[in-house]
Structure 1
Amino acid sequence: MTIKIPYFLLFFILMFSSCAVNKTEDVSYLNKKAAKSFKEEPKMNIFSPKKGTSKKLPVLIFVHGGNWNSGKKELYSFFGNNFAKKGIVTVVVGYTLSPEASYKEMAIEIAQAIKWTKSNISDYKGDPEKIFLTGHSAGGHLVALAALDGQYGIQEKDISGIILNDAAGLDMHHYLENNPPTTTDNYLTTWTNDPLQWKDASPINYLSESTPPMLIYVGDKTYESIKVGNKRFLEKLKAFQPKVEVKYINKKHIPMMTQYFWSWNNRYKEIINFINNNS
């Protein structure tokens, strides 16, 4: 049975959820030297519970998807609001898209967002010792790459866990070998035509014993390339995390993200359990 909620009721649901949350918009996270090189500096939004607490709260950093060339942080306030009202300080990161940036420049930005959060999130009720990362689609690729590849300067021990939501690009080398990049979707700009760059861009190549705990979601109806990439990633990850939790959800790629619009969706409970178990 499908339950349809009237638009006016939905409006009040959203208003109620946002009223319980402090939203700090357009926070700069790049260091000053890096910020000067951008026409439009990427920024982040921070969501924290209004209710006072003396206890520092877990932190969830979210990176949106969009095929590395589309999307914006402003579309995901529902995600920040819903987690914040459940006691999780949530950081929604904006980043420079292709063709203005390559995958490596995007990963550098995400790494800087993580570092900024580590240094400053206590000002927003967050616990810098309980930082979790999550991303959908291209965002899943970027959080995994920034956290796992040491060249981006993130200490894996500083990340309490990573939640991948129908992540794309986990083995970009394998994908591009079979589907060489062209100007379509700005892929030639994003990835170059250098196979060595494709290897460097693939989070699968940085899995190790020190990889933070992972929770992985894959849509049963998602794109075949995402199914293949996740399967290859999981096969390698299980050598280091044999009990890694993988959840297959009966959804297509976009609904894997839009399901979070509803604050009672089971994903919230599952992710918060994962956060609590790894804090």
Structure 2
Amino acid sequence: MIRGYLIILMSFLVSACSFVKWQAVNLPARFYNGSEINKIVFDPKNNLSLMITIPNDKNKAHFKKMPVVVFYYGGRWSGGSKEKYRFVATTLAKEGFIVVIPDYRKYPNVKYPTYQDDAAKALAWVYRNIGQYGGDPDKLFVSGHSSGAHIGAMLVSNKEFLNKEGLSPSIIKAFVGLAGPYDFIPQEPDIKDIFSKVRENDYAAMKVSTFVDGDTPPMLLLYGLQDKIVYKRNVEKLMEAGKEKDANITYKYYEDMDHIDIVAALSWYFKDKKPVLKDMTNFFEKYNSD
């Protein structure tokens, strides 16, 4: 009964939903005993801000310095907000990570690659400022779900975006993507319009597979085999490209998860019942020790 109710709530992660429903999903996060600092402006010109969630002393005690996860939320490149993913931040913070969730501009107000530049600007801000909040900029990780996984993966693989900020993907220790559309040709009218500036060569300029190489930070692709929104071939094509170009990319499939389940696994009810959180943190900690 409880599980069914929560799945209904989590289904709103990829669609419009009411304020009340999002409050219910994030209710336990409001009782988190660490620190949250919201609405930190990283781009005054476009009024873009980010939210930082900091572990409490008990949860961060086993780290000499606190590693940082920057999480990009999904929403078909057209919806979502950092506040709606507070549950992701508190779950990861309880594992000892400082978590940063930035907002970015969305379609139809902007198209690719404008929002990608927003994401790069946010990451650059984190790298240069997170030390003030107890984070270690040399232990910087990136993650994301759905379209947010695409955003994060493009930052990791395409040097152009961070180069504009005077940085490179080498500042990122590792990336974990949840149900990301890494290599596809847009079919729906709105998605075609979002990527209308890069139609050449079957949209090569928006495919993560185009850019991965031996310099790409380690990537872990997590995917639920019941996903009917983002197809498995996105993982397969990126894995193939990684193998051809000597990139460090691994993957894991979950037999019983769909597009929503994989991020719902980070919510308060499922985090101890599903392996997603453990797989993410194990991967981060593997490279946190380097």
TM-score above 0.5:
yes
- Which structure 2 residues correspond to residues 79-228 of structure 1 after superposition, within 5 A? 79-152=88-161, 153=163, 154-168=167-181, 170-172=182-184, 175-176=185-186, 179=187, 182=189, 186-192=190-196, 194-196=198-200, 198-223=203-228, 225-228=230-233
1:19 and 2:32 aligned: yes
- Which structure 2 residues correspond to residues 54-69 of structure 1 after superposition, within 5 A? 55-69=64-78
Q: Is the 8 A contact 2:213 2:247 kept in 1?
A: no
% identity of equivalent residues: 24
Q: Is the 8 A contact 1:42 1:94 kept in 2?
A: yes
Output the amino acid matched with 1:23: E
Corresponding residue pairs, total? 258
Q: Which moved more, 1:48-57 or 1:89-98?
A: 48-57
Deviation of the 1:55 alpha carbon: 2.9
Deviation of the 1:147 alpha carbon: 2.4
TM-score, normalization by structure 2 = 0.80
**Structure 2 gap segments, 5+ residues each:** 7-23
SS of the aligned residue for 1:29 comes to strand
Deviation of the 1:145 alpha carbon: 1.0
Alpha-carbon spacing, 1:85–1:14, altered in 2? closer, same or farther (3 Å): farther
Aligned to 2:50: 44
Alpha-carbon spacing, 1:16–1:139, altered in 2? closer, same or farther (3 Å): closer
Q: Is the 8 A contact 2:214 2:248 kept in 1?
A: no
Q: Is the 8 A contact 1:171 1:232 kept in 2?
A: yes
SS of the aligned residue for 1:90 comes to strand
Q: Take 2:244 and 2:228, find their aligned partners in 1: how far apart are those partners?
A: 25
Alpha-carbon spacing, 1:224–1:139, altered in 2? closer, same or farther (3 Å): closer
**Structure 1 gap segments, 5+ residues each:** none
Q: Take 1:232 and 1:14, find their aligned partners in 2: how far apart are those partners?
A: 38
Root-mean-square deviation (CA), in Å?
A: 2.6
Alpha-carbon spacing, 1:224–1:95, altered in 2? closer, same or farther (3 Å): closer
Output the amino acid matched with 2:262: M
The one-character-per-residue Cα deviations of 1:42-66 (angstroms, maximum 9, x if unpaired) are 2111100131768321111100111
SS of the aligned residue for 2:265 comes to helix
TM-score, normalization by structure 1 = 0.83
Output the amino acid matched with 1:230: V
Q: Take 2:198 and 2:168, find their aligned partners in 1: how far apart are those partners?
A: 28
Deviation of the 1:223 alpha carbon: 2.6
Output the amino acid matched with 2:100: V
